[in-house]
């Protein structure tokens, strides 16, 4: 370790926690992930707003009585 006394530089631990690519998401996420995620979030927000004013239409149909033979 470099440094004196109890001081330890981050660079001394960097290899142990993944090296210089510790926070590099490109190995896990496909290009365009951020745009897709943003679209999902805005779609959810829009759908939630639209569902607050949802109206259901239905029609009652009278069925003929069931006859046992």
Q: Which has the closest alpha carbon to 19: 27, 39, 61?
A: 27
pLDDT above 80 for 31: yes
SS3 55: coil
SS3 40: helix
Contact in structure between 4 and 11 (CB atoms under 8 Å): no
Using 50, 70 and 90 to split pLDDT, how confident is the model at 17? low
Whole-prediction pTM = 0.39
């Amino acid at each position: 370790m470099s440094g004196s006394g109890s001081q330890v530089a981050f660079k001394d631990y960097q290899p142990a926690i993944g090296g210089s690519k510790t926070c590099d998401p490109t190995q896990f996420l496909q290009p365009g992930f951020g745009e897709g995620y943003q679209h999902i979030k805005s779609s959810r927000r829009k759908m939630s707003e639209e569902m607050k004013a949802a109206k259901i239409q239905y029609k009652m149909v009278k069925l003929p009585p069931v006859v046992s033979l």
